[in-house]
Amino acid sequence: MISNPEEVMIRAVRNATRRANPALEKILETHLEIHANAKFELAFRDPKKFKELVNKLFGEYSGRLLEMLIVEEVKKLVGIDENVDSLEDAVEILKLL
């Protein structure tokens, strides 16, 4: 397990994008760099902004699907079984670990 909460989130985003479609990882990373001058760490540092940019790129429905994949990856990486419904909730849990 990774001890740095931000690193857990970055790995979760990478795993989720690869699960959805391996090409999404680079597309999303480039989109974040262009529009926020950030990479996947944005999901931890500003989950609301991250979700806005994901929705802008993929649409609201696909953005929500990716969000849930990321949340599931976070849960798997840290070994929790809690009911987590949002990226913001996942970040709060990571901050407590």
Q: Please write the tens of the pLDDT for every residue from 67-77.
A: 999 999 999 99
* pLDDT given at position 97: 83
Q: Residue 73 CB: number of other CB atoms within 10 A? A: 22
Higher pLDDT, 88 or 96: 88
Q: Which residue has the tokens 């979700």?
A: 51
Average pLDDT, the chain: 95
* pLDDT given at position 66: 97
The CA-to-CA distance between both ends of the chain, in Å, stands at: 12
> Is a pLDDT exceeding 80 seen at residue 3?
no
CB 87 within 8 A of CB 70: yes
* pLDDT given at position 2: 58
Instruction: Give the predicted TM-score (pTM) of the model.
Output: 0.94
- The average pLDDT across 18-41 equals 96
Q: Which domains does the chain have, with CATH numbers?
A: 5-96 (1.10.1200.200)
> Is a pLDDT exceeding 60 seen at residue 85?
yes
